Amino acid sequence: MGYLLAAIAGWSSLIILLKLFERKRVDLYVGITVNYFVGAVLAFLFAPQRMPVGEIVQAPWFGMAMAVGAVFMLAFMIYGLSAQRSGVAVTTLAGRSAMVIPVLFAFLVLDERVTLLKIIMLLLVIVAMILILYKKADVEPGTQGSASLTDTLAGKRTLWIWLLPVAVFLFNGTSDTMVQYAQKVTLNDYAASQDLPAFRFIPLFMGTMFLASTATGVVCYAVRSVKQRYVPTVRDLGWGALLGFMNWVCMVGVLNGLNQLDGSLFYPLYYTGTIVVSTAVGVWFFRERLTRLNYLGIVLAVIAIAVLSMQ
């Protein structure tokens, strides 16, 4: 359960930091690229299993790690853009609702046990998310405002801004499914062939994945620089490094948590927990106001977490 809590704390911090990127005028491309580089350094630095670069490249999980890393970078970029342009509420809902993709994958491909209680709790989690994130359109003083969940779903924004949360849903669901398969199948099979526990190879997989994300970020930055040259600032590097630390914490929790729990159990707990924590932080630190529906959603989420935790 400790790894689950680390994953929840890490991802909740990512949501908050990405919103602060806009307020602190941190360049999204630079900040996220630095974030993955720092995550890679931490992953390799604290890896309990050492492997030469040549062996890592030849390992059967190397290709999967590179693919996941590239998708992660694109997903993170889209998440950051959506949080800034479509609003945190609808972006968070889109990202968290994506849990249905890895959960269905766990049921249909990984043959995890399907129970009526799991299905009911999964539906309860989705309802809780919608209630927690439901907000009327409002504009913060001194800002141009961002789309609320109601605004965006009602089509009051441009098509481009409406499609960003859809892209968040698809990319998040795909990346989480790839991570789940890598942990449950690719890494476990490789660890078994080496007669070692899978957790010893998790940091190496994570570091390789983060390096692929970094390379993808550098390419995105280079392409953008052709039209718009930008010199990174100390502010970009500092906030990117902080984001990278929390991203590392999050992925340590996710990969090790999946090593201990079924994906159909881990993801509902993980996603619901991040919603509750990020909402609480919004109330305490950003003075966001909650409606009765929001509070009802929190109650339902806590019930779902309690029931699922006993499975």
Q: What is the pLDDT of residues 1-34, one digit of tens each?
A: 789 999 999 988 887 887 788 788 898 889 989 9
Confidence band (pLDDT; 50, 70, 90) for 158? low
Encode pLDDT of 69-126 as tens digits.
999 888 877 877 787 777 766 777 787 778 888 988 998 898 888 888 888 888 888 8
At 79-94, the pLDDT tens digits run 777 877 777 667 777 8
Give the count of alpha carbons within 13 A of 263, CB side only.
26
Helix axes 88-97, 263-285, angle to 10 degrees: 170
- Band (pLDDT 50/70/90 cuts) for residue 199 is confident
How far apart CA 178 and CA 249 sit, in angstroms, is 19
Residue in the block written with tokens 């800034």:
84
Residue range 121-145, pLDDT digits in tens: 888 888 887 887 776 544 333 334 4
pLDDT at 145 (0 to 100): 43
Tokens of 221: 């930055």
Which two tokens mark 178? 């790839």
Q: Which of 169, 8, 146, 160 is nearest to 94 (CA)?
A: 169
CA nearest 56: which of 46, 68, 66, 42?
A: 66
The answer for residues whose C-beta is within 8 angstroms of residue 7's C-beta and 6 or more apart is 250, 251, 252, 253, 254, 257, 270
